[in-house]
Structure 1
Amino acid sequence: MDQSTQGLQTTIRPRLLVVAARHGLAQYERDRSLARVLGLPIGQPLPCPGAALTILTRREAELDHARRHHDAAWHPGEHVMVMTALLHEARLGRADPARTVA
Structure 2
Amino acid sequence: MKVTIKEWNSVATWQWDIPEDDVCGICQAQFDGTCPTCKYPGDDCSLLSGKCGHSFHMHCIMEWIKQESSKGQCPMCRQPFEWRDQADETPGPNEIPVQAD
Larger radius of gyration: 2
What is the TM-score normalised by the length of structure 1?
0.29
What is the TM-score normalised by the length of structure 2?
0.29
Q: By percentage of residues, which structure has more strand?
A: 2
Higher relative contact order (CA 8 A, sep 6+): 1
Q: By percentage of residues, which structure has more helix?
A: 1
